[in-house]
Amino acid sequence: MARQYFGTDGVRGRVGEHPMTVDFALKLASAAARVLAPEGGRVLIGKDTRLSGYLFEAALEAGFVAAGVDAMLIGPLLTPGIAYMTRRLGCRFGVVISASHNPYDDNGIKFFDGSGGKLSDELEESIEAQLERGAVTKPSESLGRATRVDRERQYYQQFCAGTLPQGVDLKGMKIVLDCANGAAYKVGPRLLADLGAEVIPVGCSPNGRNINDGCGSQHPQLLQLTVPGVRADLGIALDGDGDRLVMVDHLGRVVDGDQLLYILARARQRENNLPGPVVGTVMSNFGLEQALKAQGIDFRRAPVGDRYVLGLLRETGGVLGGETSGHLLCLDQTTTGDALISALQVLAVMRRSRQKLAELAAGMQRYPQVLLNVKVARRFDPATEPSIQDSVRSIESRLAGRGRVVLRASGTEPVIRVMVEGHDEKATRAYATELAEVVKAAVA
């Protein structure tokens, strides 16, 4: 059965518009309870700092309690923190109310199973199938209870700190931390300070409407100005729900997810602690592939989306993967993408190697990458159009192994994404424009 509401990361949309309404959240909670906890049990509910989080929290709480499931409310906490605490508290499943890096007037609802992992497609389909029954209220003697467990956040902070290698701390480091006015605004600064760092917080004053607004991993410009301005060692930027990481070196230059993945892979290779391949996506920079290849590190590409990166890691026995956006997976440390834990792994490499972030990132050359979104009259598979494939082959021939071409149809709108990477920026842009024109002509 095709999923109608669940996308690559839960249910998401504009607040007040279907499906992000109170009545749908109530039905979704009831359906999820019937599928994930048919005999009762506990569910952990967390959220980011969006104003609409209050209404969805209340709706989900009511739906779960009515269905006979005990609801534990932990308040604002990073998405990976909910995954960890779901497992620690012995819950049947966990729920996060967040739209990640989106603006505040969007929101979303995503689930974790009892082990802290994302739900399978089959489970999501089963939940959708139950939606038609609406919200169900059990007899009074079978209702669940609701409790607040805000103080339990300290266990997640301790878990993060425990991922640093023994004997490594952050004493003497000056770090600017941008929490995007999101879910990490409490835990993030406390974690780094307790580990000995001097922390300069920005984006740590949420008001319900400023999440991801000109700050965080999506907008690192403020961090780029602040780090050299205060002579910090580096900057760390998270997104609103704390699963994406971008860093800034002491010179104010952005170090993206591909570069961070390279740093972690090289360090683990030196320690003989890199089982399986490193996994990126079809959009990962060609420079990452080339740099890892030069070091004899196997690199694989998955479709866009961290769930597909996770799937390929599990299939191949790998532990390290991620996306350019900074959604990194360190499966030997935790079950899902966690920006704080990923940042700590990079900081540990800096401490052990006694190198600055800029020096560690220098081993990977980022290839110029041009991405063009071509609106088309109808959705189609570009691989089936002969004129497009002829153009792709022509451009690949001219790139001569020093770049690549990726064509991808959007799954949500009539758009073909044209991406070209190459050694020369001017030529790369010309190739991308050329291919975009061929795509337009193919469906004119």
Phi-psi region of 348 (alpha: psi -120 to 50; beta: other; left: phi over 0): alpha
d(CA 285, CA 280): 9
Identify the bridge partners of residue 113 per DSSP, sorted by sequence position. Answer: 93
Q: Does the CA dihedral 280-283-286-288 come out positive or negative?
A: negative
DSSP string for residues in 132-165: GG------GGG---EEE-GGGHHHHHHHHHTTSP
Residue 100 bears catalytic tag: yes
b/e for 315-329, b at 16 or more Cβ within 10 A?
ebebbbbbbbbbbbb
Q: How far apart are CA 107 and CA 109, in angstroms?
A: 7
Length of the chain equals 444
Q: Buried b vs exposed e over 359-371: b needs ≥16 C-beta within 10 Å?
A: ebbeebebbbbbe
b or e along 295-304 (b: 16 or more beta carbons within 10 Å of the residue's beta carbon)? eebebbbbeb
- Cα separation of 74 and 44, whole Å? 7
Inter-CA distances, 420 with 368, 410, 434, Å: 8, 16, 10
Give me the sheet containing 415-422, strands edge to edge: 369-375, 415-422, 403-409
CA-closest candidate to residue 238, choices 257, 225, 253, 252: 257
Q: Which of 30, 100, 217, 325 is catalytic?
A: 100
Is residue 252 classed as helix, strand or coil in its secondary structure?
coil
Bridge partner list, 86: none
Q: How many CA atoms lie within 13 A of 39 on its CB side?
A: 2
Q: Looking at the annotation, which residues are catalytic?
A: 100
